[in-house]
Amino acid sequence: MMGELVSLNVGGYLYSTSLSTLQRYPESMLGAMFGGDLATVRDARGNYFIDRDGPLFRYILNFLRTSELTLPCDFKEAELLRKEADFYQIEPLIHCLGDPKPLLPYPTDTYEEVVELSSTRQLSKYSNPVAVIITQLTITTKVHAMLESISSSFTKWNKHMLDTRDYQVLFTFGPCDHQQEVSLRVHLLDFISKAGFTIRNTRVHHMSVRVHHMSKRANENTVKHHWTFCRRTHRVND
């Protein structure tokens, strides 16, 4: 069964699809939204509203339907589509689009500020490996204002360390359920992006290790994500 129908308003463009299509990748932002973990917004006609590129969502939705990326031969917006895939956190689509092209050198009166976000998610071997997750997220940046802003804005999460010498904030929490883990990652990505940073690249690494516990063998899976955000800033002469 495809499940209930959902109407979306993406940047002013209307789309209709099934709930099961939007939840095809549970770890994505759309999976979290329509799994009930993230707050949703509706427009005046009751459609779910997402403030993103409306025309490009066509390719996002088709990928969710088929798990295949099909683009026109003359398609010239791969970079923009990659940014949309990063925003929605659809890992298979990110892989299909490949690594972004290197940026051109910056003008001499500007420099680059960088924020690194790393996420390590490990399924616990001490309980149901499907439901219990231990996650560590580390934000590293030399932009003091950004670091302090993250630290003060995510007070509800279990923030274990703020080390201004190393310019990083470390969130460690768990065991927790899948939706909690996705929620924090989505909120951090959105928060950093709204500060003017854009995603330079995304890396995902999957590991599976055989472990022995209570005389039973089980898989202990670890997934490592890494995002690099950048923004240009003008130099200020002393």
The HSE-up count of residue 92 (CA atoms within 13 Å, CB side) is 13
Same domain, 121 and 83: no
- Per DSSP, 151 falls in state H
Q: Is the pLDDT of residue 60 over 90?
A: yes
| Total number of domains constituting the chain | 2
- Percent of the chain predicted with pLDDT > 90: 18
Please give the Cα distance from 81 to 93 (Å, whole number): 10
Residue 186 lies in domain: 110-234
If we measure between CA atoms, which residue out of 205, 185, 89 comes closest to residue 138? Answer: 185
Q: Work out whether the CA dihedral 64, 67, 70, 76 comes out positive or negative.
A: positive
171-193 average pLDDT score: 75
Q: Is the pLDDT of residue 168 over 70?
A: yes
Confidence (pLDDT) at 219: 45
Confidence (pLDDT) at 215: 35
- Write the CATH number for 51: 3.30.710.10
Confidence (pLDDT) at 227: 81
DSSP 12-43: TEEEEEEHHHHTSSTTSHHHHHTTTSS---B-
Backbone angles phi, psi at 221, to 5 degrees: -100, 140
Same domain, 24 and 62: yes
Same domain, 69 and 167: no
Q: What is the pLDDT of residues 221-233, one digit of tens each?
A: 677 778 888 888 8
Q: What is the pLDDT of residues 64-117, one digit of tens each?
A: 998 888 888 788 898 889 889 988 988 888 888 876 555 555 555 667 788 888
DSSP 79-127: HHHHHHHHHHT-HHHHHHH-SPPPPPPPPTTEEEEEEEEEEEEEE-TTS
Same domain, 119 and 222: yes
Confidence (pLDDT) at 202: 73
Confidence (pLDDT) at 214: 39
Task: Tell me the pTM.
Answer: 0.55
Q: Is the pLDDT of residue 9 over 90?
A: yes
| Residue 103 domain flag | no
